[in-house]
Structure 1
Amino acid sequence: MNGASKTPRFDDVDRRIVAALQADPRASWSQLGGVTGVSETTVLRRVQRLRDSGSLVIVAAPDALRCGFGQPVLLHFRTVPGEGSRLAHYLAERDDVRYVSLLTGRSDVMCELITPDHGYLSRVLMHDLPDTKWVTGTRTEIVLKRFKTRDQWSHTLLDGAAAPLAPDDGAITAAVPEKGGQLDAMDIKLLAALGPDGRRSYADLSHELGLSETAVARRVNALTAAHRLYFVAMVDPAALGFEFEVMLHIRVELARLESIALALAAMTEVRYVSATTGDSDLAVDAIFRDANDLYEFMTHTLARIPGVREVELDVVLESIKREYRYPLFSAGAPTSAHPLALAAAARMRDAEAPHVDVTPSRTKKKSKTTTGH
């Protein structure tokens, strides 16, 4: 499933390097060589090959909620037979959509949309779809809380050698507010500079932003410590031998929702868990080596969790888009008309505007004189 036939498998060295990078996408070449048992030169050469081929993408991923960019919403579509691919590719072109997949089951297409407000969501659903004849039904789930995100999944696959590089897998469930304060202008500029290349050096960022390397590092560390920024090494799971991906929609006893979500988040097979509005209480993305592993998970793992009432399943046929960047700005101009880009550009303009002294003048006004005629 999920386009596995088109995905080249990684060899053992590739797998070790990718596992280490997914544990720490910004690890130095010497650190990567140390935990994988190969030379720095080999690590550098293989990473470059994987990145050039598109098999490995390393990005800086802002957290939408904690950065104040908007609310994640899961949209599910039923389509006219044969039109699912057209709709999926249309959605993938949108700046506000960061994940799109083709499914079979209850839905034909699913996407994750970042919405600044409910009015924006209404416009997308009521006006933005290119041709309503494509769509025969929609279902909307607003994400209320995340318990595990897809970038954390690979941390549970690490062998003992790479594990020291891994962050705390419970970070997403730590007592950190889902919504943070507003980013300042320089933070936004830093995110825009980092996004396309999560391994970009502090020296490069320092040169572009006009800050010292120490100041850049301090800002990056502050954003990551607040869980507002994640560094992600993304690979197609099929390249690691995981070829059967599903979306699970789970109804639970509400009193046990949090404990069930945390139990699921701790499982190796589970890539993503969130509490949502809508028909189901939990949205879960899970991935398996084959259909037999899925059967074992459904009958011997999920079925034994107290409080699980009902499960519906969609099989992921193909991932069209997996994207963790947001439309910000380039050279001071918004990259799109999306509210995120416009707001970021406006914040930059406000920060860079010259200071104007508006203190009232205390100079005594001259008296008006008249001249005789």
Structure 2
Amino acid sequence: MNLTETDLELVEALREDGRASFESLAGRVGLSRKAVRSRVLRLFEDGVLRVVATVRPEFDGIHANAHLSVSVTGARRDDVARMLADQDETVFVSIVSGGAGVVAEIRTTDLHRLGNVVDRLRGVEGVTRIETLVYTDVVMEPHLPPPRDAVGTDPAVDHLDRTLVDLLRADGRTSYADLAAHVGLSAAATRARVRNLLDMGVIRIVTLVNPTKLGRSFMTGFALDLEETAQDVLHQIKEIGAVDFLALTLGTADAVGTIVTTSVEDTIAVLDRIGTMDGVVGLRSWTHLRLVQERYGIVGG
């Protein structure tokens, strides 16, 4: 879709506050509430963005995450990508350029289950090879709540909290009145529970933007080979504004990440900056051509 400057301003406003009211959005862009509501709903319907609650992985018993590079032969990339997206454990699937036709991220309970998932995906028609990078430390992840050690002990939640979490996972903009109707509490009590879930770091309301549909954004993945003493370089990479994700890994690379830029020139500049840092001995990259699935916060199998 062709986005106007007003659409882009609304996207930015929702990135700052996914639950911003239509009234406040209207005031920001200088349109009526009705016009803004129509524009925002169109952005949702066209897959440009979604507002959801993402959930701390430990809340769901998720302790194993991995990045998969999937080679495709004798089948359409789109068909393979959609088959991968249908798996319970996949939270991210994208069609990419480069040696692998599709990349995916999977989240599940433990390494044993992770191995079983990869074995199952090898059986998907058209998949000829899967390169697996297991995350050992997520250095930068903008979508999820803070790690457990940053928020203290595990919070106490009951079945009403879990119902609220599931509803907000599906739609992070669900009104407090609608949430209250589902759990049988007042809107004020429901608001207090949601606020508590946010404060405890169980959930985070985020706006997931599909860069491949913005028309002005370029999404690029990269994998790094690092020197043994190159831990400081990760902090340097994390401080680059275009870096959207970064994790240490085990496998054929020592780290994997994602950058989002507004031009090909910026993409090249960021990759060159990372590739020439002290401690980086190898860099390979791929371009995201179409984002097929992004459902961070959904329970993995």
TM-score band by shorter chain is 0.7 to 0.9
Structure 2 CA distance, aligned partners of 1:116 and 1:215?
A: 33
Equivalence map 1:185-196=2 (5 Å): 185-196=159-170
Answer whether contact 2:212 2:219 (CA < 8 A) is retained: no
1:161 is matched with none
Runs of 4+ in 1 over 6 A off after TM superposition: none
Partner of residue 43 from structure 1, selected from 36, 46, 61: 36
Structure-2 residue corresponding to 1:18: 11
Q: How many residues align?
A: 301
Residue ranges of structure 1 left out of the alignment (5+ in a row): 1-7, 153-170, 328-337, 340-373
Aligned to 1:354: none
When residues 183 and 256 of structure 1 are mapped into structure 2, their CA distance, relative to the original with a 3 A threshold, is farther
Gaps of 5+ in 2: none
Q: Answer whether contact 1:67 1:181 (CA < 8 A) is retained.
A: no
The one-character-per-residue Cα deviations of 1:180-239 (angstroms, maximum 9, x if unpaired) are 467543332111122221111112111101223333223322322333312222232244
SS of the counterpart of 2:192?
helix
Q: What corresponds to 1:365 in structure 2? A: none
TM-score by length of structure 1 reads: 0.71
2:143 touches 2:296 (CA, 8 Å); kept in 1? Answer: no
Larger radius of gyration: 1
Q: Hey, what does 2:176 align to over in structure 1? A: 202
Deviation for aligned residue 1:24: 0.5
Is the CA contact (8 Å cut-off) linking 1:92 and 1:99 kept in structure 2? yes
Give the equivalent residue in structure 2 for 1:63: 56
Indicate conservation of the 8 Å contact 2:81/2:95, yes or no.
yes
Counterpart of 2:209?
235
Alignment partner, residue 321 of structure 1: 293
Determine which of 176, 197, 200 is the counterpart of 1:226. 200
Secondary structure at the residue paired with 2:170?
coil
Q: Whole-Å Cα distance in 2 between the matches of residues 178 and 285 of structure 1?
A: 29
Deviation at 1:308, TM superposition (A): 2.0
Q: C-alpha offsets along residues 23-66 of structure 1, whole Å, 9 cap, x if unaligned?
A: 10012233323443444343223212322333332222223245
Report the counterpart of residue 361 of structure 1 in structure 2. none
Equivalent residue, structure 2, for 1:310: 282
Q: Matched residues in 2 for 1:240 and 1:74: separation?
A: 24
- Counting aligned pairs with the same residue, the percent is 25
Distance 1:233 1:28 in 2: 14
Letter in 1 for 2:73: V
Residue identity opposite 1:205 in structure 2 = L
Cα RMSD, aligned residues only: 2.9
TM-score (ref. length: structure 2): 0.86
- Aligned counterparts, 1:147-226, within 5 A: 147-149=139-141, 151=143, 172=146, 176=150, 180=154, 184-226=158-200
